[in-house]
Structure 1
Amino acid sequence: MTSEATTLKGKPLDRAALDSMLRRRMFYTPSFEIYGGVAGLYDYGPPGCSLQANVIDAWRKHFVLEEDMLEVDCSVLTPHEVLKTSGHVDKFADWMCKDPKNGDIIRADHFVEEILESRLKGDKEARGQKVEEKEEDPKKKKKKIKGAIEAIKLDDAVVQEYEEILAKIDNYNGTELGELIKKYDLKNPATGVQPSPPVAFNLMFQTAIGPSSNLPGYLRPETAQGQFLNFAKLLEFNQQQMPFASASIGKSYRNEISPRSGLLRVREFLMAEIEHFVDPEGGKKHPRFSEVKDIELVLLNRETQLSGKTDIQRVAIGKAVEDGTVDNETLGYFLARIHLFLKKIGVDQSKIRFRQHMANEMAHYAADCWDAELFTSYGWIECVGCADRSAYDLSVHAKKTGSPLIVRQRLPEPLVIEEWQVDLNKKKFGPHFKKDGRTVEAAVEATTQEQRESLAKELNEKGSIILEVAGVGEGKVEIPKELIVIERRTRTENVREFTPNVIEPSFGIGRILYSLMEHCFWTRGSEGGDEARLVLSFPPTVAPTKVLIVPLSSNDKFTPICQKLSLKLRKAGVSSRIDDSSATIGKRYSRNDELGTPLGITIDFQTLQDSTLTLRDRDSTKQVRADEDKIIAAIKSLADGEKEWKDIEAELPAFEGQEIEVASR
């Protein structure tokens, strides 16, 4: 894997040029900018909205349609009790530090990471090695280097320590991060002061629901909880059939400690999440796993990271599941499907890897988790998480509410079970224990088969049992034999009940969009020393606009042809724009190359004679010419992803003409 962010054409990425172009062409822009803006909040402009809509459309087709998923749209406002039960109120947090001198709030893991990386860069400079800087603002670059990067040679052992720490930076808890800050004397470059010890900061936005503000709530940090709470209804809608998956696309909110890196770390963002409910018995097999088992993925497993390394391995997902690197078939199936989706929308295949979570960074609900990370000028960025949430969410919500979030399946043959059963004398049990009755009863029901066997023996020998019950008396209660019967009995089961496990692929759409824009960005040199032209090589399937319609001149005879062609393209479901400005054809195409428009139609005087059109490819600038019906059919096949440009070149006659001449001036 490359350690330097490059463009589609293999050249170093000019992030300043890309960011300037994206904002100038209004792919996205800071929210509330005329009021000074708010960190971590952005608005999408017309091309950004179209790109996002097209990626979501591709996502729906690839997952919801292909996998026959059940899509839901759930409320953003979430009561406190729901997120308390799910664990988010107590555990959804990052570690933050405070600079005692200027009051700056700093995210602890990012702080450690940046200072150690800057020291490693200083070591490389001292050794005469090339150091690539990736600052957004060239004016700030010199200041930051002066304040944070000094050309000081480190001992080889220290370099190795730093590299090992960085390899497993996501695995440190707050105490460990604080120890690293002290051990390596890490100071804020802005003040020269060491920050305070890390403390946990909950990332959820808190609010109050209703005019009396007596119902506390939060803006949801994920779309998943709404899907879990609707599980019983979805199961019924699916005619009690398992396995099945739900899907949801919507906004989520996280009060990031230090938003940065544009769209990569924001406080309001679009998520697309899947909850695939699977029977935990049978090793979580997937019926379609054989279709993807030979797909090779680039994997970085937890053992490698914990050894202080970042070595990757390219391996078929079937083998990764077989040797236990990936826990089960269903998890492996979705990793492969995520890979295919990212490839389909245009992600650079040399800049993708799947990294396994280490123990401390694992979400509180996860049994195993892999991130699809995309390489950008900011480094490796998590864009998709794929977690095995086991039965955590359904179990805790069922326990809290008493709702049966379970699956009932009729067995092909009755199952005869011999077990220890408990009967309580309800008439006497309640009055005997009074207010503690329900607590003691719950403790009795929670006993295991092994405990019941032992308690039955104790009851027979002593005439009573002693049971540990938290919160009652001194933690132990005595239950006499007139209140309880424990016997070994046989029962017949015709129905099996179980709580499904969940495999959850979770997509951060904004991060995917930004990574895609970097991966598709390149510059086209021009003849005569003119300024290089900027290009976004989005695949036609996701490009904001598919076709640019360009009349050769402002001749009035071209206008009705443009409008007729635009109408036909719209009816075919293909987005287009007409550019009849006075600029040269070369300039008109160039400024739409910046918008990622993959195709262009030129209407010239020959069109008036024989109704033929020229079709131009954005990346190669090659052109073909044919009649209107053939050109529209070619565009439709490209926009639908059925064909590539090379297929069109093979089918339609090549054309050499005016754009090449004008563009070279």
Structure 2
Amino acid sequence: MATGVNKTAHAFDKTRLEGMLLRRFFYAPAFEIYRGVAGLYDYGPPGSSLQANIINEWRKHFIIEEGMLEIDSTILTPAPVFETSGHVARFADWMVKDTKTGDVLRADHLVKNVLEARLAGDKEARGIAAEPKEEEALKKQSKRKDKAAKAAPVKLSDEVAAEYERILAQIDNYSGPELGQLCRDHKIVNPDTGNEVTEPQPFNLMFTTSIGPTGQHPGYLRPETAQGHFVNFQRLLEFNNGRVPFASAQIGRSFRNEISPRAGLLRVREFTMAEIEHFVDPDDKRHERFNEVRDVELNLLDRHTQAAGSSAPKRMTVGEAVGKGVIANETLGYFVARIYLFLTKIGINPKRLRFRQHMANEMAHYATDCWDAEIENSTGWTECVGCADRAAYDLTVHAKRTGAPLVVREALKEPIVTEKEVPEFNKKLMGKTFGKDLPVVTQTVSTMSEEELIKLKGQLAQGEAVIKSADGREFKLTPEILTIERQTLKQSIREFTPNVIEPSFGLGRILYTLLEHSFWSREQDADRSVLSLPVVVAPTKVLIVPLSTKKFDELVQEVSSKLRKAGVFSRVDDSNQSIGRRYARNDELGTPFGVTLDFASLQNRTMTLRERDTTEQLIGGIDEVLAVVVDLCNGAIGWGEACERLERYTGQQNVD
């Protein structure tokens, strides 16, 4: 917000940040008086406002600017939907158990945390400064119950250290059996107890439930909002006048039964997502606004770099990345760039933001390419946004399961004339011959390729033919039942299943990393903490500080009313504490501006304006100051321009 502020005077202290967030009730463990449940959190007033402001900016940045269609689909989902989408079979993480205590751990996190702690210990033994995530690993290690886990840090050989770095560079690419082999090869045990762990087993992350009083309709709490878009595709297409490309968007709650949530808001069981499904012609994934983002520079960590054992991203523009095939297509590249612009706009440090491409083993079952926006924080690099090309997977499987026509029908400018083999059934004889198997026979023939139909035609010319269905059953056909003729077809309508580009945002993770990136302490006093939240997302924009006397009530009401009418959210602090303490308290809440009403305000109708980061103060008439404040909060001007419009406050005013 303001320049010339030393925000690195004191090293980042995660314990102080978390204590402040709890004390100011940004968020807290849910059901705390009942001893709580891991992975569930409640947001307090500043946390709720911060999340609401992030959502509001997300809605402006994507839904409004891109002209998206917003929906709100149900959380409770019948089981067949997720059976069809593949989530019942594949939406799982690998878990291991402590062989003695039975404690459950997520396998990839266990390997990652242990190896990072060993590398941190190696640096400590060599007297090398550790990175924030390594310091965090050392702190965790010092709290272990097991004496072996708390042993003094030891030096690693160069070969072992390099091997650990190689493993960590592609930790998301390992399968369950491979993670088990890593535990054996590197003697990885439960760091809390020193006990060995079991072989990794898949654990489905969806919460199960039942719908209705009898329990006969099994269901799930959705782990993502995406399926609500796909099952409503035909209605969305009609709403958009049958045209693609178009995008639908949704903000809502999702649920994942995390194996061992231990990282605050970074890994929870209930969270808010903001997801976009951009439907596009599979033969044309260009984007009409791509040139607007072509020159946006990103830190890209592609799959080939990771496979080589490196985690060093490459700096390149989006245009260069798409041109070289690093990012699969223009539409995917467009949204990657728009994600970057959104995250940096709300306050994420661009130097601590990278886009990592999914490797083969971690790619979702529906995706053909996927990039995660990862934000660095005290625990390392954390995925906060995923941007995937889901191809036509979802619409295809739902259409096949339900028979719904989840396709686009596009009128062709010039009709296409083709010749092809066309099967024709004697429906009456088919019904008598195959009975309830009629749909299976029809489906088997209808899905045959041109070559297969020509072969079948030749067999029927010899008297009969045998076909085999997808489930392996055989059926005998005769020329009386089926004829195949070559016909000239004129195609005036092109029918296709659109592909989907999906940006998916975890808002809780974004919120927490933003808090870390915004947190610092004043150079002169490490106990004076500040959250330098951008005005656009700050929970409260303006603090109104009157001297502690009822004489100022009328002025306070006037200033509050004018700010409300201008759409600026403000709070009044008329406590008995000093003005300095009141400002310090609100610095912790991230409030960017403060106005003070004193005796000079009563006599001269003047008011001072304070900026949070620099603590600089300006002075002017009440209406003059309010006009500057409104422009600051609306983003029309910056602090430098405010300094040109108002006088510097020296700490003295003339009062008769």
Q: TM-score, normalised by structure 1?
A: 0.94
Q: CA deviation at 1:144?
A: 6.7
Query: How is 1:249-288 mapped onto 2 (pairs within 5 angstroms)?
Result: 249-282=251-284, 284-288=285-289
Does 2:202 align with 1:204?
A: no
SS in 2 for 1:557: helix
Aligned to 1:468: 468
Q: CA deviation at 1:658?
A: 6.3
Change beyond 3 A, Cα 1:228–1:187? same
User: Which whole-Å deviations, capped at 9, do the CAs of 1:414-455 have from their partners, x for residues lacking one?
Assistant: 221222211111111222223322212111011012222232
SS in 2 for 1:417: strand
Does 2:396 align with 1:401?
A: no
Aligned to 1:642: 636
Q: CA deviation at 1:187?
A: 1.4
Does 2:538 align with 1:543?
A: yes
Aligned to 2:583: 589
Deviation >6 Å, runs of 4+: 136-140
Is this contact kept in 2: 1:8–1:519, CA < 8 A?
no
Q: CA deviation at 1:478?
A: 2.9
SS in 1 for 2:503: strand
Identity, % of aligned positions: 57
Is this contact kept in 2: 1:285–1:329, CA < 8 A?
yes
Provide the rounded CA distance (Å) in 2 between the counterparts of 1:121 and 1:540.
37
Change beyond 3 A, Cα 1:344–1:531? closer
Q: CA deviation at 1:555?
A: 3.2
Query: How is 1:151-550 mapped onto 2 (pairs within 5 angstroms)?
Result: 151-282=153-284, 284-460=285-461, 462-471=462-471, 475-526=473-524, 532-550=527-545
Q: CA deviation at 1:656?
A: 2.0
Aligned to 1:69: 68
Provide the rounded CA distance (Å) in 2 between the counterparts of 1:536 and 1:141.
29
Change beyond 3 A, Cα 1:134–1:563? farther
Q: CA deviation at 1:400?
A: 0.5
Is this contact kept in 2: 1:534–1:593, CA < 8 A?
yes
Q: Tell me the number of residue pairs that the alignment of Structure 1 and Structure 2 aligns.
A: 645
Q: CA deviation at 1:494?
A: 1.5
Aligned to 1:4: none
Is this contact kept in 1: 2:10–2:523, CA < 8 A?
no
Is this contact kept in 2: 1:16–1:137, CA < 8 A?
no
Which of residues 622, 633, 636 in structure 2 aligns to 1:628? 622
Q: CA deviation at 1:158?
A: 1.9
Is this contact kept in 1: 2:97–2:105, CA < 8 A?
yes
Does 2:26 align with 1:27?
A: yes
Provide the rounded CA distance (Å) in 1 between the counterparts of 2:20 and 2:292.
41
Aligned to 2:78: 79
Change beyond 3 A, Cα 1:147–1:654? farther
Change beyond 3 A, Cα 1:144–1:276? farther
Which of residues 552, 571, 575 in structure 2 aligns to 1:558? 552
Is this contact kept in 2: 1:547–1:598, CA < 8 A?
yes
SS in 1 for 2:96: strand
Provide the rounded CA distance (Å) in 1 between the counterparts of 2:141 and 2:125.
22
Does 2:594 align with 1:600?
A: yes
Is this contact kept in 1: 2:117–2:138, CA < 8 A?
no
SS in 1 for 2:66: coil
Q: CA deviation at 1:632?
A: 2.0
Q: For residue 324 of structure 1, what is the amino acid of its counterpart?
A: G
User: Which whole-Å deviations, capped at 9, do the CAs of 1:480-532 have from their partners, x for residues lacking one?
Assistant: 22211112211111111111110000000000000000000000133xxx663
Provide the rounded CA distance (Å) in 2 between the counterparts of 1:523 and 1:365.
45
Q: CA deviation at 1:468?
A: 2.3
Provide the rounded CA distance (Å) in 2 between the counterparts of 1:248 and 1:593.
33
Provide the rounded CA distance (Å) in 2 between the counterparts of 1:244 and 1:116.
45
Consecutive unaligned residues in structure 1, runs of 5 or more: 1-6, 660-665
Q: CA deviation at 1:141?
A: 3.4
Per mean C-alpha deviation after superposition, the further-off stretch among 582-591 and 322-331 is 582-591
Q: CA deviation at 1:640?
A: 2.0
User: Which whole-Å deviations, capped at 9, do the CAs of 1:250-279 have from their partners, x for residues lacking one?
Assistant: 100000000011100000000000001111
Is this contact kept in 1: 2:347–2:518, CA < 8 A?
yes
Is this contact kept in 1: 2:117–2:137, CA < 8 A?
no
Provide the rounded CA distance (Å) in 2 between the counterparts of 1:327 and 1:205.
34
Is this contact kept in 2: 1:15–1:136, CA < 8 A?
no
CA RMSD in angstroms, aligned pairs only = 1.9
Per mean C-alpha deviation after superposition, the further-off stretch among 346-355 and 421-430 is 421-430
Per mean C-alpha deviation after superposition, the further-off stretch among 156-165 and 130-139 is 130-139
Change beyond 3 A, Cα 1:607–1:194? same
Provide the rounded CA distance (Å) in 1 between the counterparts of 2:458 and 2:639.
80
Q: CA deviation at 1:471?
A: 3.1
Is this contact kept in 2: 1:135–1:141, CA < 8 A?
no
Change beyond 3 A, Cα 1:53–1:173? same
SS in 2 for 1:596: coil
Change beyond 3 A, Cα 1:28–1:426? same
Q: For residue 219 of structure 1, what is the amino acid of its counterpart?
A: L
Q: For residue 469 of structure 2, what is the amino acid of its counterpart?
A: V
Q: For residue 645 of structure 2, what is the amino acid of its counterpart?
A: E
Aligned to 2:47: 48
Q: TM-score, normalised by structure 2?
A: 0.95
Provide the rounded CA distance (Å) in 1 between the counterparts of 2:576 and 2:194.
56
Q: For residue 31 of structure 1, what is the amino acid of its counterpart?
A: A
User: Which whole-Å deviations, capped at 9, do the CAs of 1:26-56 have from their partners, x for residues lacking one?
Assistant: 0000001011010000000000000000000
Q: For residue 502 of structure 2, what is the amino acid of its counterpart?
A: E
Change beyond 3 A, Cα 1:327–1:604? same
Aligned to 2:3: none
Provide the rounded CA distance (Å) in 2 between the counterparts of 1:404 and 1:63.
28
